[in-house]
Structure 1
Amino acid sequence: MTKIILNFLWRELRVSAPLIFIASIFLSFLFKEKVWMMAVHALCVGLCIQTLIEMGRHGATYFLRKYTKLVLQQDFAWPGWPFMFVWIPISCLGGYLIGGNIALILTGDTRKLQIHGYGLIIILGVCLIAALMSTIYLYSRNYIASMEARNAAIQHSATESHLRLLQSQLEPHMLFNTLANLRVLIEVDTRAAQSMLDHLNDFLRASLNGSRAQNHSLEEEFRRIQGYLALMQIRMRDRLQIQLKLPPELAHIPIPAMILQPLVENAIKHGLEPTEHGGTISIQAERVHQHLHIQVADNGCGTRFDHPQPNKQMGYGLQHVRERLQHMYGANAALDINTPANGGYSVTLQFPITQGTTKS
Structure 2
Amino acid sequence: MRFSALKKYIDLKLILLLAGFYALFDLVFIARYAYLRSSFPKEVMEPWFDFLVFNILIDFLVVVTYMSLIAISTKRFLHKNYSWVRIIIIHTVFSILIGLIIRLIFDLFSIITGQIPLAEYQLAESLHRFMYVIHLNFLIYFAMVFIIYTYYYVKQVKEAEKQRGMLETQLVNTRMKMLSSQLQPHFLFNTLNSIAVLADVDKEKAKDTIADLSDFLREILYSKDDNEITLEKELRTLEYYLNILNVRFSDHLTIVRDIDDSLLQKKVPALLLQPLIENSIKHGYSYDHTDLKITISVKAKEPWLVIKVANNGKAIASKHEELLENGVGLVNINDRLKNLYHNDYFFEISNTAEGEGGVETVIRIPLH
Q: TM-score of the superposition, structure 1-length normalised?
A: 0.60
Distance 2:86 2:341 in 1: 35
Give the Å deviation of 1:9: 8.9
Q: Report how far residue 281 of structure 1 moved.
A: 1.3
Q: For 2:243 and 2:329, how far apart are their aligned partners in 1?
A: 21
Query: Amino acid of the residue matched to residue 14 of structure 1?
Result: F
Greater Cα shift, 191-200 or 178-187: 178-187
Distance 1:208 1:173 in 2: 14
In angstroms, what is the RMSD of aligned CA positions? 4.1
Runs (5+) with no aligned partner, structure 1: 55-134, 355-360
**Which ranges in structure 2 are unaligned for 5 or more consecutive residues?**
1-82, 108-115
The CA deviation at 1:249 is 1.9
Give the structure 2 partner of residue 96 of structure 1: none
**Residues 324 and 331, structure 2, Cα contact 8 Å, conserved in 1:** no
Matching residue of 2:269 = 256
Change in Cα spacing, 1:350 to 1:145, as seen in structure 2 (3 Å) is same
Q: How many Å apart are 1:181 and its aligned residue?
A: 2.4
Instruction: Please report how far the alpha carbon of residue 34 of structure 1 lies from its aligned counterpart in structure 2 after TM superposition.
Output: 3.6
Deviations 1:106-142 (A, max 9, x none): xxxxxxxxxxxxxxxxxxxxxxxxxxxxx6x975x46
Deviates most, 15-24 or 188-197: 15-24
Farther-moved stretch of structure 1 (42-51 vs 238-247):
42-51
Who is 1:327 aligned against? 339
1:173 to 174, 178, 181: 181
1:156 equivalent among 163, 166, 181? 163
- Corresponding position of 1:212: 225
Q: How do 1:70-149 and structure 2 match up within 5 A?
A: 141=148, 145=152, 148-149=155-156
1:339 aligns with 2:351: yes
User: What secondary structure does 1:189 align onto?
Assistant: helix
Any idea what SS the aligned residue of 1:252 has? coil
Distance verdict in 2 for CA 1:276–1:43, change over 3 Å: closer
Distance 1:257 1:225 in 2: 11
Residues 289 and 314, structure 2, Cα contact 8 Å, conserved in 1: no
Structure 1 residue 169, shift from structure 2 partner: 1.1
Quick check: 1:322–1:335 contact (8 Å CA) kept in 2? yes
Go from structure 1 to structure 2 and tell me whether the alpha carbon gap of 1:274 and 1:255 turns closer, same or farther (over 3 Å shift): farther
1:1-360 pair list within 5 angstroms: 11=91, 14-15=94-95, 17-19=97-99, 21-23=101-103, 34-47=125-138, 141=148, 145=152, 148-149=155-156, 152-153=159-160, 155-157=162-164, 159-160=166-167, 161-162=169-170, 164-176=172-184, 177-190=186-199, 191=203, 192-208=205-221, 212-272=225-285, 277-303=290-316, 315-341=327-353, 342-354=356-368
TM value normalised by structure 2: 0.59
Q: CA deviation at 1:219?
A: 2.1
Aligned residues: 266
Give, in angstroms, the shift of residue 204 of structure 1. Answer: 2.3
After superposing on structure 2, the runs of 4+ consecutive aligned residues of structure 1 that deviate more than 6 Å are 3-10, 24-27, 273-276, 307-314
Q: Is the 8 A contact 1:210 1:257 kept in 2?
A: no
Identity of aligned residues (%): 23
